[in-house]
């Protein structure tokens, strides 16, 4: 599948991290989401119902990042991917890619961010 909807550098504040100090105050998180699906029906018809409403995808990211604390950004990415696949299965989403970045990481040297990227496909139906 070569068609994709991408939401790049979504930014919200969250309280996630292994250390208590990381969960004490909100800190920035950045998320990229890519949804692979056939966009031809929407492109031809110009109808929102034939694609993924990216406002809904944005809301899933917001709920996850602003929601309950998690220790790992891996858990944030997995939660977002699972919700996207579940909520948009009827739209024919074949794959999601989720990148989560944590810019304010306390490490003993300079870096732009800690980041994870996951790629998930729907579970095969029995």
Enumerate long-range contacts of 59-64, CB under 8 Å, 24 or more apart.
60/84, 60/87, 61/7, 61/10, 61/12, 61/31, 61/33, 62/10, 62/12
Our answer to whether residue 41 is catalytic in this structure is no
What confidence score (pLDDT) does residue 121 get?
A: 96
pLDDT in tens, 49-105: 999 999 999 999 999 999 999 999 999 999 999 999 999 998 999 999 999 999 999
CATH architecture of 4-120: 2-Layer Sandwich (3.30)
pLDDT in the model for residue 113: 96
Confidence class for position 2, pLDDT limits 50, 70, 90: confident
Query: Residue 42 is inside which H or E element, if any?
Result: helix 40-45
The whole-angstrom separation of Cα 85 and Cα 96 is 7
Confidence of residue 126 (pLDDT cuts 50, 70, 90): low
Q: Taking residues 14-39, report their average pLDDT.
A: 96
Summarised one tens digit per residue, pLDDT across range 51-62 is 999 999 999 999
Q: What's the CA gap between 126 and 118, in Å, rounded?
A: 24
Task: Output the pLDDT for position 69.
Answer: 96
Q: Is the dihedral of CA 5, 78, 12, 62 positive or negative?
A: positive
Handedness of CA 102, 106, 111, 112 (dihedral sign): positive
Do residues 5 and 52 lie in contact, with contact meaning Cβ atoms separated by under 8 Å?
yes
How far apart (Å, rounded) are the C-alpha atoms in residues 119 and 32? 12
Question: Which listed residue (102, 103, 116, 121) is catalytic?
Answer: 102
Q: What does the pLDDT read at residue 123?
A: 83
Beta-carbon count within 10 A of 45 CB: 11
Q: Are 30 and 100 in contact (CB under 8 A)?
A: yes
């Amino acid at each position: 599948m070569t068609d994709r909807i991408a939401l790049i550098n979504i930014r919200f504040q969250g309280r996630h991290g292994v250390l208590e100090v990381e969960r004490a105050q909100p800190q920035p998180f950045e998320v990229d989401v890519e949804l692979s699906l056939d966009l031809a029906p929407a492109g031809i018809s110009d109808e929102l119902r034939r694609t993924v409403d990216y406002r809904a995808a944005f809301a899933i990211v917001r709920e996850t990042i602003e929601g309950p604390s998690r220790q790992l950004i891996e858990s944030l990415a997995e939660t977002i991917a699972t919700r996207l696949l579940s909520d948009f299965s009827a739209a024919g989403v074949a794959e999601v890619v989720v990148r989560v970045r944590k810019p304010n990481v306390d490490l003993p040297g300079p870096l732009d961010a800690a980041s994870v990227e996951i790629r998930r496909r729907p579970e095969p139906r029995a």
